[in-house]
């Protein structure tokens, strides 16, 4: 397995001279969240939670696909951020199922919720690599891939904790800069465990 520090170094190296394109892609979900958080409703009939269900799943797929292609040395197009809407039902279902399972686990305590979130963390990367795969099947494959890797991913995420605090102090503006770095590193983590963990489907 590649050390977390090395995954981050590789991400910084990949971003040199290529920030603009991935920054624009990663900004889309942030801008969307900023838009809907301005009030309780987009319209009198459409609550924010419902908008999130129908939009965040497909956008998460799009960001995952773009970052994987970027990490693998390709030159992905901006439009890939919207490719999740081509299979919108599957991506909505994945978002909904993960939200329900993490929410139920969190009812018992914070730690079980974190464990479940880590367990299913690779779902959108898997869906990006396997377009024929269903939401639940991708979640189960993520569960298998994360056996023995949840602590590694948690420690990797914690390496960004100081950056998250700085972003909060910047009134959230810093997240536009941090998001490409974070998402690209997560893509490299996925490729690393995909290449080093035997899973029958792969």
pTM above 0.75, yes or no: yes
**pLDDT tens track for 37-95:** 654 434 444 444 667 778 889 999 999 999 999 999 998 999 999 999 999 999 999 99
Phi-psi region of 76 (alpha: psi -120 to 50; beta: other; left: phi over 0): beta
Residue 200: pLDDT band with limits 50, 70, 90 = low
Residue 202: pLDDT band with limits 50, 70, 90 = low
The segment with the largest mean pLDDT, out of 15-29, 99-113, 176-190, is 176-190
What pLDDT is recorded for position 168? 87
Percent of the chain with pLDDT over 90: 69
| SS3 assignment, position 42 | strand
Handedness of CA 99, 120, 149, 178 (dihedral sign): negative
Closest among 104, 181, 108, 195 to 149, alpha carbons compared? 195
Mean pLDDT of 130-151: 95
What pLDDT is recorded for position 32? 85
70, 22 Cβ separation under 8 angstroms: yes
Q: Look up residue 77 and give its DSSP letter.
A: -
Q: Could you give the CA distance from residue 107 to residue 74 in angstroms, rounded to a whole number?
A: 42
Mean pLDDT of 20-44: 73
Hey, what are 96's tokens?
């909904």
The CA R_g of the chain, rounded to the nearest whole Å, is 17
Residue 199: pLDDT band with limits 50, 70, 90 = low
Q: Could you give the CA distance from residue 186 to residue 10 in angstroms, rounded to a whole number?
A: 11
**pLDDT tens track for 114-126:** 999 999 999 999 9
């Amino acid at each position: 397995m590649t050390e977390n520090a090395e995954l981050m170094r590789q991400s910084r190296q990949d971003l040199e001279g290529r920030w603009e394109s991935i920054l624009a892609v990663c900004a889309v979900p942030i801008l969307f969240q900023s838009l809907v958080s301005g009030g309780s409703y987009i319209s009198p009939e459409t609550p924010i939670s419902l908008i999130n269900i129908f939009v965040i799943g497909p956008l998460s797929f799009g960001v995952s696909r773009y970052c994987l292609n970027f990490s693998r040395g390709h030159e992905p197009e901006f439009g890939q951020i919207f490719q999740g809407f081509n299979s919108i039902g599957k991506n909505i279902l994945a978002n909904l199922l993960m939200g329900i399972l993490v929410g139920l686990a969190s009812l018992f305590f914070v730690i079980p919720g974190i464990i479940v979130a880590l367990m299913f963390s690779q779902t959108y990367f898997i869906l990006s690599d396997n377009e024929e795969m269903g939401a639940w099947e991708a979640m189960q494959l993520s569960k298998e891939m994360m056996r023995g890797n949840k602590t590694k991913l948690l420690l990797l995420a914690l390496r960004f904790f100081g950056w998250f605090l700085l972003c909060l102090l910047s009134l959230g503006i810093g997240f536009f800069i941090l998001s490409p770095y974070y998402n690209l590193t997560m893509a490299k983590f996925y490729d690393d465990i995909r290449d080093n963990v035997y899973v029958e489907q792969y």
